[in-house]
Structure formats: structure tokens, C-alpha cells
Amino acid sequence: MGYRENPRPGGRSARVQAAVHQSVRDMLATMDRADITIPMIAQRANVTPSTIYRRWGDLQELLADVAASRLRPEAEPAKVGSPREDLEAWAEQYADEMASGVGRQMLRDILSASDVANAEKCSGYTQQQLAVFIARAKEQGEAFPTLTELMDHVISPVIYRILFDQAPGPDYVRKLVAKVMPEGTLKS
């Protein structure tokens, strides 16, 4: 009697999931998160509350699921210049998105759920994106930081600040990138 992780596309289960996700996104856009309840989500999605309870367990799990699916990158990072420049542009946008009200909420939703799967998924997405820059740099023979260095010294500080402190400022990210680039790699 378990629910499939990935419902077959086109099936009823997939339709319900889509309707519920959509309903949650609508509500997040229009009202305060503290006022959102499962019965309300259910009504807007035209399903019964018990469907949601059985499938997701509670509001936190549902919100985490929705947040993680919104965080999935839609495309490869843009290629506009050198790998370093691409990384800088991407990181800046990443920081902005995460620091925005919506992004911040999504991060919290993901971390609040008792199930760790969504947090890992989210970190995995970021690593995938970073891996693209690393591959490009390698291809072009450009010196570049490792994945671990990028995660530890660019992503982590940005996320920490967003979660605990204040949003990272505009050139803060640029400085982090500069610091992590290998010696002798100067910005053009």
C-alpha cells in the first residue's frame, strides 16, 4: 500500500499530484504561509484532505516536496564567456534567487521536513550545475576549483547567511568566487 515515488505520467495519481502542487504554489503566491492548511489546499485542488494526508503525511512534507520540485534546475547554466565568468554570473543569480522571499521559504520548507530526501535532492541539483562549469573548464584546459571547494566556499557561505543572518550583498558572491579560484587566475 505504498505510494510510488514517481507516479506513471498520465495516470490518475500524477494528475492529483500536479493539481495539489499547483494548488500549493498558488496559495504560496497569494497568502501568508502560516495561514495555509491542508483542507484549503485540498479544496483548491479538488481532492479530499485525506488524499493529501495519506500521500504526504503532513503539511511540512508536502511543502518540502513542492519546494524541492521548484528548485530543480530547468536548464544547463548559460555559457556566455569563460567558465569563471559563467560561474560568477550563475552564482550571483543563484544567491539572488535563494535570498528572495520565495527562495528563503523554499529552503526552510525543505529543511523543516523530517524526511531528509528533499534536502539531499536540493544539494544534488546544485552540485550538478557546478559540475557543468568544472567540465567546461577541464575541456578548455582552464584551472578551476574542485566541486568540494565550490560547495564549501561559495555555496555554503551564501546559504548560511540566508538561513541565519541577512541576505548576502551584491558583490559578496563575487568575492567568494574570487577567493576560491586557483592562484594566478585573474579576472580579465
Q: In whole angstroms, how far apart are CA 136 and each of 24, 139, 174?
A: 37, 5, 20
Stretch that binds its own copies, among 38-46, 72-80, 88-96, 160-168 (CB under 8 A): 160-168
**Contact flag: residue 34 with its own copies (CB under 8 A):** yes
The answer to whether 118 and 68 have CB atoms below 8 angstroms apart is: yes
Between CA 143 and CA 124 the distance in angstroms is: 23
Cell of 40: 484549503
**Contact flag: residue 108 with its own copies (CB under 8 A):** yes
**Contact flag: residue 95 with its own copies (CB under 8 A):** no
Between CA 149 and CA 16 the distance in angstroms is: 41
- Which of 21, 25, 40, 132 is close enough to bind DNA by CB under 7 A? 40
The answer to whether 84 and 181 have CB atoms below 8 angstroms apart is: yes
**Contact flag: residue 165 with its own copies (CB under 8 A):** yes
Which residue intervals of 100-151 are DSSP H helices?
Answer: 101-112, 117-139, 147-150
Residue 151, binding choice from DNA, its own copies, none, Cβ under 5 to 8 Å by partner class:
its own copies
**Contact flag: residue 21 with its own copies (CB under 8 A):** no
Report the interface residues with DNA, using CB under 7 A: 1-4, 7-8, 10-13, 15-17, 37-40, 46-51, 53-55, 57-59
Residues contributing to the site for its own copies (CB under 8 A): 33-34, 60, 108, 111-112, 114, 119-120, 122-123, 151-153, 155-157, 159-161, 163-165, 176
